[in-house]
Amino acid sequence: MRALQWRGPNRLAVGEVPDPAIKTRADVVVRVRLSATCGSDLQLLGGDSPYVGKGDVLGHEFVGEVVELGADVQRHHVGDRVVVAPVIACGRCWFCSQYEYSLCDNGGCFGWSHAGSHAEYVRVPFADVGAFTVPDEVADERALFASDAASTGWMGADMGGVNPGDVVAVWGAGAVGQLAARAAQLLGADRVLVIDRYDNRLRQVEKHIGAETINYERTDVVATLLDRSGGRGPDVCLEAVGRPGTVGEAVTACRKGGSVFVLGLFAGLVDRFPLGAISVKGLTVRSARMHGQRYIPMLLQRMAKGELTTEHLATHVMPLEEAPEGYRLFRTREDGCVRAVFRPGS
């Protein structure tokens, strides 16, 4: 089959790889219908991840159709349209019993430890735990984002503790930040502000999410956030960037006793952090990799009801053969690219 492979630092190519097959009784094989780029791929393109080697297939945010079933699979049938959580979880270890799926002792992640979804087919381990049937009324372009961006964003708002009446600030207007902002609204936030420097992304936030925006190149972010929250600071700060500086800014802006949730994924050590402010202001600072299995069924229901729309994020839908160019657009943000989405077999 055809698949997008990592061929070395910043070298991507579409090539021929063996078709996946059922390996354990809990697997399914999915024919990929759509598979999206994600901000977290950008780090590993450079070759920083010990999990990704030459020839490995990238991609972890996808929707597809079940074509083969392992003997123990209960919840799926051949032909089902499914969204799959990027984080693979067994459903049987202690962490899974606490619904902390991304901490699973027997798990992994597509496009890192396991072959990814930028391919015609992908093997999905523990399919009863990680794959979810998409309601008929939800189109692929919407369902796709339940997989990662929407569940990650929702997790930030949920675990960050957004309550009705809160002022919520979100750093980053990528797909994750936008959907974190939408989640905060749906959880009852009174005011949601999204920070970025790309006007096209901020316009999407205003038009499709209905949140306020701050361009950090033109504005003092902390001063603006304080001003727009009556001098208190945002109750909840959601970091959806993953670059040095933003978590510190969130800690500085956050109100006393408030909460900062870090969705961005960082590699290595990050210095110059206002650690003292966490104690003095009594903040709660948390982070996690996404626990998609917790949220995907609920998100698909909200998508079916029209509460959560995500189509605007798929700015560049293209055949899988053009995936290297899709990653170039996504990385450079050229042409207003928010997510490049690949359609295998077209």
Partner 1 sequence: MTRMSRIALVAAVVAAAGIMTARRPGRRRADTRSWHSMTVYRTLDDVSANLPDQLCRLEVQLTPAPGGRGAEIRARGDRPDAEVRRILRLSRSLLEVGEVRR
Among 11, 13, 53, 94, which residue interacts with partner 1 (rule: CB under 8 A)?
A: 94
Query: Which residue in the block uniquely carries the two structure tokens 């089902």?
Result: 80
Whose CA is closest to 233, among 252, 261, 214? 252
Q: How many residues bind partner 1 (CB under 8 A)?
A: 16
Does position 131 bind partner 1 by CB under 8 A?
A: no
Q: Please report which helix (H) or strand (E) contains residue 71, including its range.
A: none
Does position 113 bind partner 1 by CB under 8 A?
A: yes
Decide whether 26 or 184 has the Cβ nearer to partner 1: 26
d(CA 162, CA 51): 34
Instruction: Please check whether residue 312 is in contact with residue 208, taking contact to mean a CB–CB distance below 8 angstroms.
Output: yes
DSSP structure class, residue 119? B
d(CA 296, CA 309): 14
d(CA 302, CA 118): 26
Does position 341 bind ligand NAD by CB under 6 A?
A: no
CB of 3 to ligand NAD, least distance (A): 21
Does position 109 bind Zn ion by CB under 5 A?
A: no
Query: Which residue in the block uniquely carries the two structure tokens 């959601």?
Result: 238
Read off the amino acid at residue 213: T
Read off the amino acid at residue 27: D
Among 263, 299, 320, 341, which residue interacts with ligand NAD (rule: CB under 6 A)?
A: 263
Decide whether 162 or 195 has the Cβ nearer to ligand NAD: 195
Among 240, 251, 260, 283, which residue interacts with ligand NAD (rule: CB under 6 A)?
A: 240
Applying CB under 8 A, which residues contact partner 1?
Answer: 23-26, 90, 92-94, 97, 105-106, 108, 113-114, 125-126
Interface residues with ligand NAD (CB under 6 A)?
A: 38-40, 148, 152, 171-177, 195-198, 201, 216, 240-243, 245-246, 263-265, 289-290
